[in-house]
Amino acid sequence: MIPVLIGVTILIFAITQLFDPYMRASLYIRDPRQAKNIEGIIRKYGLDQPVYIQYFRWLDQVLHGNLGWSQSIHMPVLDALLTHFPATAELALYAAPLTIIIGTALGKLAAVKKDTAVDHLTRIMAIIGWSLPSFWLGIMLLAIFYGGLGIFSPGRLSTWAENLVLSGKFKVYTGLYTIDAILNLNGAVLLDALSHLVLPVTTLVIINMALLMRIMRSSMLEQLNKTYVIAARARGLKWKTVIDKHATRNALISVVTISGLLTAGMLSGMVITETVFEFKGIGYWAAHAATQLDIPAVLGFALFAGMVFVVANLIVDILYAYIDPRIRLG
Amino acid sequence: MRVEEILSPNEQLRVKDLIVRFYTYEGIVKAVEKAKLNLRRGETLGIVGETGSGKSVTALTILALTPPPGRVEGGSILFRRLNGSIDDILKLSEEQLIRLRGKEISMIFQEPNAALDPLYTVGDQVAEAILSHRLPEMLDKAIESLGEEVKNGNEGFSTRLQLWAYNEMKKNPKALKLRLVKRLPIIGKMISKRLNQVVREEIIELLRLMEIPDPERVVDSYPHELSGGMQQRIVIAIALACSPLLLLADEPTTSLDVTVQAQILDLIRRLKERFGASIIYITHDMGVIAEISDRVAVMYAGNVVEVAPVKELFKNPLHPYTKALLEAIPRPGATFKSIPGTVPNLVNPPPGCRFHPRCPYAMPRCVKEVPELKRISEEHYVACHLYGGEGHGEHSGGD
Amino acid sequence: MRETPLSIVGLAIVIFFTIIAIAAPVLAPPRPGRDPYMIPRYGYSPIPKPPSPEHPFGLTQGQYDLYYGVIWGTRAAYRIGVLIIAVSALIGIVVGGVAGYYGGIIDEVLMRITDIIFAFPGLILAMALVVAFGPGLDSVTLAMVLVWWPGYARLIRGEFLRIRSEDFVEAAKAIGCSDLRVIVKHILPNAIYPLLIMASLDIGSVVLNVAALSFLGLGAPEGYADWGQLISLSRNWITGKPGDPFAYWYVYTIPGLFLFLFVMGWNLLGDALRDVMDPMIRRR
Confidence (pLDDT) at B232: 92
Burial class (CB in 10 A: 0-12, 13-18, 19+), A233: buried
Query: Which pLDDT band, with edges at 50, 70 and 90, does C283 fall under?
Result: very low
End-to-end Cα, chain A, rounded Å: 21
The pLDDT-based confidence of C278 (bands split at 50, 70, 90) is low
Instruction: Please determine, for residue B398, whether its predicted confidence score (pLDDT) is greater than 80.
Output: no
Q: How confident is the model at residue C1 (pLDDT cuts 50, 70, 90)?
A: very low
- Say if residue A310's pLDDT is above 90: no
Best of A135, A217, A218, A293 to disrupt the C interface (most C CBs within 10 Å) is A135
Q: Is the pLDDT of residue B390 over 70?
A: no
Residues of chain A with CATH 1.10.3720.10: 84-329
Q: What gap in Å lies between CA B326 and CA B318, rounded to an integer?
A: 11
Tell me which architecture the domain covering A84-329 has in CATH. Answer: Orthogonal Bundle (1.10)
State how beta strands B44-48 and B278-283 pair: parallel
Predicted-complex ipTM score: 0.86
Q: How much is the average pLDDT of A158-175?
A: 81
- Partners of B60 on chain A (C-beta within 8 Å) are 230
User: 10 Å Cβ neighbour count for C214?
Assistant: 27
pLDDT digits (tens, 9 = 90+) for A125-151: 998 998 999 999 999 999 888 888 888
pLDDT of residue C193: 75
Please give the residue of chain A at the shortest CA–CA distance from C133. A18
Residue C31: phi, psi to the nearest 5?
Answer: -75, 135
Q: Give the lowest-confidence range in A37-51, B248-262, C2-16.
A: A37-51
Kindly state the average pLDDT of the residues B278-285: 90
Phi/psi-derived region of residue B52, left when phi > 0, alpha when psi is between -120 and 50, beta in every other case: left
B185-230 pLDDT per residue, tens: 777 778 888 888 899 999 999 999 888 999 999 999 999 999 988 9
Q: What is the pLDDT of residue A54?
A: 79
Nearest to C154 by CA among C91, C203, C104, C202: C91
Q: Mean pLDDT score of chain C, rounded to an integer?
A: 85
Read off the pLDDT of residues B158-169 as tens digits, 9 standing for 90 and up.
788 888 888 888
Please report the pLDDT score of residue C85 as a whole number: 94
Nearest CA in chain B to C283: B25
The string over C223-247, giving b where at least 16 C-beta atoms fall within 10 Å of a residue's C-beta and e elsewhere, is: bbbbbbbbbbbbbebbbbeeeebbb
Q: Which of A246-250, B90-94, B134-138, C159-163 has the lowest mean pLDDT?
A: C159-163
Would you state the pLDDT for residue B392? 47
Find the length of chain A. Answer: 330
Distance CA B356, CA B336 (A): 22
B126 CB contacts (<8 Å, ≥6 apart)? Answer: B203, B206, B207, B219, B234, B237, B238, B241
C101-120 pLDDT, tens digit per residue, is 777 888 888 888 888 888 88
Right CATH number for C73-222 from 1.10.357.10, 3.20.20.210, 1.10.3720.10, 2.40.160.40?
A: 1.10.3720.10
Q: Which whole number is the average pLDDT over B134-140?
A: 88
DSSP C136: S
Highest average pLDDT, of A42-46, A114-118, B202-206, C7-11, comes from B202-206
pLDDT score for B127: 92
Residue B93 sits at φ, ψ, to 5 deg, of -80, 165
Q: What is the mean pLDDT of chain B?
A: 85
Task: Determine whether the interchain pair A232/B94 forms a contact, defined as Cβ–Cβ distance below 8 Å.
Answer: no
**Beta carbons within 8 Å of B101's beta carbon, 6+ residues apart:** A233, A234, A235, A236, B63, B65
Rounded to an integer, what distance in angstroms lies between the CA atom of residue B41 and that of residue B398? 11
pLDDT on residue A330: 46
> How far from chain centre, in Å, is Cα A227?
38
Residue of A nearest to B247 (CA): A234
Domain annotation for chain B: domains and CATH numbers: 3-113+228-382 (3.40.50.300), 122-218 (no CATH)
Report whether A9 contacts A59 (CB < 8 A). yes
Instruction: Please report which confidence band the pLDDT of residue A164 belongs to, taking 50, 70 and 90 as the band edges.
Output: confident
Mean pLDDT of A242-263: 88
The contacts of residue B305 (CB under 8 Å, 6+ apart) are B298, B299, B319, B321, B322, B355, B373, B382, B383, B384
pLDDT of residue A170: 77
Mean pLDDT of the A10-23 span: 80
Q: Residue B220's Cα: distance from chain center in Å? A: 26
Q: Which residues in A lie closer than 8 A to residue C112 (C-beta atoms)?
A: 3-4, 7
Instruction: Select, from the ranges B82-91, C107-116, C260-269, the one with the highest average predicted confidence (pLDDT).
Output: C260-269
What local confidence, expressed as pLDDT, does residue C282 receive?
Answer: 36
Q: Please give, one letter per residue, the 3-state secondary structure of chain A.
A: CHHHHHHHHHHHHHHHCCCCHHHHHHCCCCCHHHHHHHHHHHHHCCCCCCHHHHHHHHHHHHHCCCCCEECCCCEEHHHHHHHHHHHHHHHHHHHHHHHHHHHHHHHHHHHHCCCCHHHHHHHHHHHHHHHCCHHHHHHHHHHHHHHHCCCCCCCCCCHHHHHHHHCCCCCCCCCCHHHHHHHCCCHHHHHHHHHHHHHHHHHHHHHHHHHHHHHHHHHHHHHHCCHHHHHHHHCCCCHHHHHHHHHHHHHHHHHHHHHHHHHHHHHCCCHHHHHHCCCCCHHHHHHHHHHCCCHHHHHHHHHHHHHHHHHHHHHHHHHHHHHCHHHHHC
Average pLDDT over residues C130-147: 91
Chain A residues with CB-CB distance to C211 below 8 A: 133, 135
**pLDDT above 90 (res C82):** yes
Say how many CB pairs under 8 Å bridge A and C: 145
pLDDT at A205: 94
Cα of C159 to nearest chain B Cα, Å: 28
pLDDT at B156 over 70: yes
**Per-residue model confidence (pLDDT) at position A138:** 92
Percent of chain C with pLDDT over 90: 31
* pLDDT band at residue C214 using 50, 70 and 90 as cut-offs: very high
Q: Which of A235, A240, A255, A328 to mutate to test the interface with B (most CBs of B within 10 A)?
A: A235
Does residue A212 have a pLDDT over 70? Answer: yes
Where in chain C are the domains?
A: 1-30, 73-222
In this complex, how many residue pairs, one in chain A and one in chain B, have their CB atoms less than 8 Å apart? 76
- In this prediction, residue B308 carries a pLDDT of 92
Q: What is the pLDDT of residue B389?
A: 55
Q: Is the pLDDT confidence value at C78 over 80?
A: yes
Q: What is the mean pLDDT of the segment spanning C129-135? A: 88
pLDDT of B399 over the 90 cut: no
Q: pLDDT over 70 for what percent of chain A?
A: 98
Q: Given pLDDT bands bounded at 50, 70 and 90, which one contains residue C280?
A: very low
Taking a contact as any Cβ pair under 8 Å apart, which residues of chain C between 76 and 115 contact chain A?
Answer: 112-113, 115
Binary contact (B116, A326; C-beta < 8 A):
no
Tens of pLDDT, residues C145-203: 999 999 888 888 888 887 777 777 777 777 777 777 766 776 777 777 778 778 877 89
CB interface of B with C, residues 56-85, below 8 Å? 68-69
Least confident segment among A297-301, C17-21, C200-204: C200-204
Q: What is the pLDDT of residue B333?
A: 73
| 8 Å CB contact between B283 and B254 | yes
d(CA C99, CA C94) in angstroms, rounded, equals 9
pLDDT higher for C9 or A323? C9
Interface-testing mutation among B25, B29, B347, with chain C (most C C-beta atoms within 10 A): B25
Assess C228–A contact: CB distance below 8 Å, yes or no.
yes
pLDDT band at A329 (very low <50, low <70, confident <90, very high): low
pLDDT above 90 covers a percentage of chain B that reads 26
* Span B47-71, pLDDT tens digits: 998 887 888 899 999 999 998 888 8
Say what the pLDDT of residue B397 is.
Answer: 43
DSSP state of C224: B
Q: Which residues contact B111 (CB under 8 A, 6 or more apart)?
A: A227, B255
**pLDDT above 70 for A322:** yes
| pTM for the predicted model, two decimal places | 0.83
- What is the spatial distance between Cα B108 and Cα B124, in angstroms, rounded to a whole number? 17
Q: What pLDDT shows up at residue A171? A: 79
